[in-house]
Amino acid sequence: MGIEGMQVVRTEAELREVRKEPPKGAWDKDIARIDGHARTLIEHSPFLLLATSGPDGSCDVSPRGEPPGGVLILDESTLAIPDRPGNRRLDSLRNILHNPQVGLLFVVPGMNETLRVNGTATIVRDAPFFDRMAVKGKRPQLALVVQVTELYLHCAKAFLRSGLWQPETWPDRDELPSAGRIIKDQMNLKVPAKVLDAGLNLDSKHNQY
């Protein structure tokens, strides 16, 4: 399906015809530094989303999970995020090599507001703080050091509309396909889904750090 017949918005002026300018406070809430409240949220967040873009303009959003406190606050304008084992595609890291601009969204379980952080990232292969990032005796091989240029609290509406923290809104997991089933069908593999699931579960359990 293309965009034929759709009323497409192509300029900011057209956009503002639909969504008016925000109040001054919406712009002023960007403090561009890690204050005490931001520190508290970051230290209690076990999950963040990392947005990057490649040299061709393509975008990527990657989930990152750490025990609370796993993201280090080096000073009021600098964060350090460990890079843990994954699928080794390195989409985020390869993008950062070409474009260091990143966006971060910190999520705290049970809290409807999120912390938005934008800045520039540098890939680091070792530093004195790597010892503080060790989990189960394993230091990360790489980390992202982010210089904060924007920081502000994002309102609760998205989480309230989604009911994300309300278990009664969650789907029955048995009604959803397993990861193995999705991969088998999307890649047209002959391997049984249960074999793929067993391998994925084993990797997830033993290859977190």
pLDDT tens digits, one per residue of 83-139? 999 889 999 999 999 999 999 999 999 999 999 999 999 999 999 999 999 999 999
Could you report the per-residue pLDDT of 152-170, keeping only the tens digit for each? 999 999 999 999 999 999 9
pLDDT band at residue 45 using 50, 70 and 90 as cut-offs:
very high
pLDDT of residue 148: 98
Structural domains for the chain: 20-162 (2.30.110.10), 171-206 (no CATH)
Q: What is the model's pTM?
A: 0.94
Q: Which long-range contacts (CB under 8 A, 24 or more apart) does 132-136 make?
A: 132/72, 133/70, 133/72, 133/80, 133/82, 135/67, 135/70, 135/208, 135/209, 136/209
**Which runs of consecutive H residues, i.e. helices, occur in the chain?**
12-18, 24-28, 36-44, 91-98, 157-162, 179-187, 193-206
Q: Of 136, 123, 113, 135, whose CA–CA distance to 92 is shortest?
A: 123
Q: Is the dihedral of CA 189, 191, 192, 196 positive or negative?
A: negative
